[in-house]
Structure 1
Amino acid sequence: MTAVSSPVSEAFRPAIHYACKNTWLNDPNGLIFHDGTYHLYYQNNPFGNIWGNMSWGHATSTDLLNWIEQPVAIACDESEDIFSGSIVWDQYNTSGFGGQHTAPLVAIYTSLFKKDSPHYGRQAQSLAWSTDGGYSWTKYHENPVLDRKSANFRDPKVFRYSGPRGSYWVMVAVEAHDHTVVLYRSDDLKTWEYLSSFGPANATGGVWECPDLFPLPLDGNEDNIKWVLTVNLHPGGPNGGSAGQYFVGHFDGVTFTAASTVTDGLQDPARMDEYLWLDWGRDYYAAVSFNNVPDGRRLMIGWMNNWQYGNEIPTSPWRSPMSLVREVSLVSSNGQPRLSQRPVWEDPGSDTGTVSYTGLDVDGFHPVEGGAAVQLIEATFVPGSAEEFGLVIRGNGAEGTKIGIRPADGRLAVDRTMSGNTDFHETFPSIDSAPLQAPGGTYDLRIFVDHCSVEIFAQNGQVTMTELIFPDPESISVSVYASEGTATVSSLKLTTLP
């Protein structure tokens, strides 16, 4: 049964992020652009607002900002739950699922087989197809198409590879408990041949899930293509619980080789800052990219929650939002390739006001005008003598979320211990941090604030932190501060969003 909403919990419903109307969601699945529409499928419990009855929910958008919830796309049944996966446009009907003039969409998903199935206890890969643009789906009668007789083989991301070895489908999946990414190839999406494996490497403090593999030009140079392998894990994140990491290297159509790894095998807690994290916050997980995006753009979205407390966040009847969609690129940083992430965002043209400041010298705690429950904050700080400086958002004097920079430590920190409702789970009130440097001498932050979240993009998106917060609806003040010294806010712009 779906939970009954209350005025307080419904007040947390996001304004600029996607959430279901009255059910649970988690990992994004089947992300694809097709016939002018972006399709977001996701793990969904159609019958309640906690995890269970895994099916594929569905939402659509033409601009990646405004989403329309659609009926459940692929439903669980008595023999299987529908776990994570991906969708491809089978342009040349290699699968044979299309008609004479119709190229099908094909979903490749993990079947979690139940007691009523002869495959009970296994996770294996299955197919479904659509010939109406992704709104109705038919399961393949010979599922599963790839079975390793494993209880933890899941989360296939499939894409079309074309290179010196030919053109074929590639599947990237995981053996979750082995901390291993496994790669397969196919000509028809039905018959799969093993290619290679990658891992364990770097962060292995929890199961590996939801991998992705894609090419990106380094610094925009199409003659210098690198491949990025992402893999999510829980627990084992840099600030506790769920997180995603990535590797940069080479893929030759058979094997992914990382340019370098920090550790092989066991995770080293002393070297967490050396691992490459998709996001340093507590609430960005299972991030994967869209297939078939025009102009070769690489767009990603993640689940904005954490398995430590995901079922218990204080919202109803819905539970769990998605992050903003991010465009990722590969840039050189200190001579090494690193991801840069920018939110896909266009000024909606109907904001209710912008307040700007320049040249604010800060010593202590100073409220500013322009605070709102939903807003974009753009700030540039110049360090002075202060040990820490930054912003307090969604405040009211008694509560607030502190976003601080500690230049001597080279850290960005988010303190949500006084952010509002924090007592629903013992691990939620936290002070989370990420390494942050300012080679040019200034710190640039772009912060998206919503009713229950804050997404921070620092230094042109080379460091990101995503955190859920649950403040009082009336807590909308913004303040700047500097502790144990002074700092300068060279520019500050606060834009209220509808």
Structure 2
Amino acid sequence: MKHKILKITYFCMLVACGLGQNTAIAQQKNESDQYRPAFHFTPKSHWMNDPNGMVYLNGKYHLFYQHNPNSSVWGPMHWGHATSTDLDHWDHQPIALYPDSLGTIFSGSAVVDVNNTAGFGKNALVAIFTHHNHKIEEAKTGLHQYQSIAYSIDEGKTWTKYEGNPVLPNPGIWDFRDPKVMWHTQSKKWIMTLATKDRITFYSSPNLKNWTKESEFGEKSGAHGGVWECPDLFPLSVNGIQKWVLLVSINPGGPAGGSGTQYFVGDFKEGIFSADHTDIRWLDYGADNYAGVTWSNTGNRKIFMGWMNNWTYANQIPEQGFRGATTIARELQLKKVGNEVYLSAAPVKEFNLILDKAAQLKYSAAKTDYDLSTKVTSFKGKYQLELTTAQKQSFSLRLTNDNGDELVLGYDAKNNTFYTDRTKSGQVDFEKSFPRVTTAPRISKDNHIQLKLILDVTSAEVFADNGLTVMTNTFFAHSPLTQLHIKSTKPLLIQNLKYAGIKSL
């Protein structure tokens, strides 16, 4: 009887949500898309937050995401779904996972079960996610979050929830969520990396159904300004030596206030993670990159995508018809600086597919003002700019429009920091902390500055020194930022500068 009730409930929700989504899309056509990004992923309509279940199979990248199909604010969570063959162009798919009698569908991951360990079929896609039961939460028992699985044998088109859910019951921890699962070759087991309040707990399983606790990490490590969320664990090599990287999102307590993602570099042996460093390190120092994880089943490449928003104001940003976007896809690599190993992030090579042919400028004399407005005006607020300076000297990029909106980013040599200032960038009064300046330490020891800016209508993603320092910030200018000046108080020599428009998708 329990399964019949569950199926009837699921069908009713399917019909109701489907009607709601169609109505939402129709309404969207009558609303302003002024702030919809040109080339970042967004839902067709309504709310999105964390990327979920990111997995690659047979030439397709699957992106699932936290989605409320009936409102543009956070609400009952579903897994939205989109696919891509190039990480640029995304095809919207039907909602993959709906709430059921066990709860709404919170964040999680997906894997390709190559060896059919779960018995659902060879190469079945298996989603591992958190069920969040609001009724139990209201009772304040602390058992409202638990881990469940679903599987697909048609490459993600349809999904079946496992009848034995939950596969990992809650042991009495209030925050017990966001499972990121991978196959661990050395132990020949699945490893689940789970956020458990103020630390990470690792579990292992031979079949994705039966889980055993292995260890904990983080109670006295890293930043603890808020609850730990959306972890990820994966290996990367640097100079031929394999290391392990642990990503942990935190809210609040991020480097720019509100949400942020820290990382640890270390080793993972016999179910135990140990970090090589004691300092706090951030994947992105901007205000708007949260809950990001990497794609499964991509071999040695580790491709990351985050939610381009911040919980401080996520429900209030002035987008209409939809709310929320992802960062562009980024490839993560380890790089050695002195005796330390850092995690870098840079746009994936596939991003070049949507760039127009780049123009290159070389300068032989130093200036205090490089006026590039005539070069970028036609791009209407969406372009890529790359520059390399001849020396380590302060400079700023000032992006403006005829409305007087101004976004400023640059390098401060005195403090050896990069920064983004959006205090005068347009609509900033919808939440008191939004008009902020974000800063990031310079990690590179080079004597010249290398900086790449990717601008898209409402976002500025800055990759400095080949991705050693990254800042992602959103803004809401009244019209596209079509004017650009590079300024410095003392003459600055830019050795090389390239710019290119970016295609709308």
TM over 0.5: yes
Size of the alignment, in residue pairs? 472
Tell me, in whole angstroms, the C-alpha distance in 2 between the residues paired with 1:317 and 1:407. 42
Tell me, in whole angstroms, the C-alpha distance in 1 between the residues paired with 2:444 and 2:184. 38
Q: What amino acid maps onto 2:320 in structure 1?
A: S
Tell me, in whole angstroms, the C-alpha distance in 2 between the residues paired with 1:31 and 1:315. 25
1:78·1:116 contact (CA, 8 Å) conserved in 2?
Answer: no
Give how far 1:348 is off: 2.9
Structure 2 partner of 1:267: none
Structure 2 partner of 1:496: 501
Give how far 1:421 is off: 1.3
Tell me, in whole angstroms, the C-alpha distance in 2 between the residues paired with 1:114 and 1:480. 51
Tell me, in whole angstroms, the C-alpha distance in 1 between the residues paired with 2:303 and 2:270. 22
Tell me, in whole angstroms, the C-alpha distance in 2 between the residues paired with 1:376 and 1:457. 11
Aligned to 1:348, the other structure's residue is in SS state helix
Q: Are 1:207 and 2:227 matched, yes or no?
A: yes
Q: What amino acid maps onto 1:322 in structure 2?
A: T
In structure 2, do the counterparts of structure 1 residues 79 and 191 end up closer, same or farther at CA, with 3 Å as the change threshold? closer
In structure 2, do the counterparts of structure 1 residues 368 and 356 end up closer, same or farther at CA, with 3 Å as the change threshold? farther
Tell me, in whole angstroms, the C-alpha distance in 2 between the residues paired with 1:292 and 1:476. 40
Structure 2 partner of 1:195: 214
Give how far 1:395 is off: 3.5
Task: Single out whichever of 70-79 and 401-410 deviates more from structure 2.
Answer: 70-79
Cα RMSD over matched residues? 2.2
- Aligned partner of 2:61 among 27, 38, 48: 38
Tell me, in whole angstroms, the C-alpha distance in 2 between the residues paired with 1:169 and 1:121. 24
Tell me, in whole angstroms, the C-alpha distance in 1 between the residues paired with 2:357 and 2:322. 27
Structure 1 partner of 2:113: 90
Task: Single out whichever of 134-143 and 109-118 deviates more from structure 2.
Answer: 109-118
2:372·2:483 contact (CA, 8 Å) conserved in 1?
Answer: yes
Structure 2 partner of 1:236: 253
Q: What amino acid maps onto 1:446 in structure 2?
A: K
Structure 1 partner of 2:359: 354
Q: Are 1:138 and 2:144 matched, yes or no?
A: no
Aligned to 1:416, the other structure's residue is in SS state strand
List structure 1 runs of 4+ shifted beyond 6 angstroms.
116-120
Q: What amino acid maps onto 1:107 in structure 2?
A: A
Give how far 1:260 is off: 2.3
Tell me, in whole angstroms, the C-alpha distance in 2 between the residues paired with 1:398 and 1:367. 17
Aligned to 1:341, the other structure's residue is in SS state strand
With the length of structure 2 as denominator, give the TM-score of the two structures. Answer: 0.89
- Aligned partner of 1:389 among 372, 395, 403: 395
Give how far 1:368 is off: 3.7
Per-residue displacement from partner, 1:422-454 (whole Å, max 9, x unpaired)?
111111111110011553311111111001101
Q: Are 1:459 and 2:482 matched, yes or no?
A: no
Tell me, in whole angstroms, the C-alpha distance in 2 between the residues paired with 1:57 and 1:84. 11
- 5+ residue gaps, structure 2, are 1-19
Structure 1 partner of 2:322: 318
Structure 1 partner of 2:203: 184
Structure 2 partner of 1:167: 188
Aligned to 1:156, the other structure's residue is in SS state strand
With the length of structure 1 as denominator, give the TM-score of the two structures. Answer: 0.90
Aligned to 1:369, the other structure's residue is in SS state helix
Tell me, in whole angstroms, the C-alpha distance in 2 between the residues paired with 1:103 and 1:161. 17
- 5+ residue gaps, structure 1, are 263-274
- Aligned partner of 2:95 among 66, 72, 75: 72
Aligned to 1:196, the other structure's residue is in SS state strand
Q: What amino acid maps onto 1:254 in structure 2?
A: G
1:63-462 correspondence to structure 2 within 5 Å = 63-98=86-121, 102-115=122-135, 121-147=143-169, 148-163=171-186, 166-176=187-197, 179-200=198-219, 201-219=221-239, 221=240, 224-262=241-279, 275-294=280-299, 296-344=300-348, 345-348=350-353, 351=356, 354=359, 356-359=361-364, 361-363=366-368, 366-371=371-376, 372=379, 373-383=381-391, 388-396=394-402, 398-436=404-442, 439-462=445-468
Give how far 1:397 is off: 6.9
Tell me, in whole angstroms, the C-alpha distance in 2 between the residues paired with 1:143 and 1:131. 18
Q: What amino acid maps onto 1:28 in structure 2?
A: P
In structure 2, do the counterparts of structure 1 residues 425 and 213 end up closer, same or farther at CA, with 3 Å as the change threshold? same
1:114·1:121 contact (CA, 8 Å) conserved in 2?
Answer: no
Per-residue displacement from partner, 1:200-225 (whole Å, max 9, x unpaired)?
21200011000011111013x1xx10
Give how far 1:236 is off: 0.4
Give how far 1:477 is off: 1.1
Aligned to 1:347, the other structure's residue is in SS state helix
Tell me, in whole angstroms, the C-alpha distance in 2 between the residues paired with 1:138 and 1:214. 27
1:375·1:450 contact (CA, 8 Å) conserved in 2?
Answer: yes
In structure 2, do the counterparts of structure 1 residues 356 and 63 end up closer, same or farther at CA, with 3 Å as the change threshold? same
2:31·2:321 contact (CA, 8 Å) conserved in 1?
Answer: no
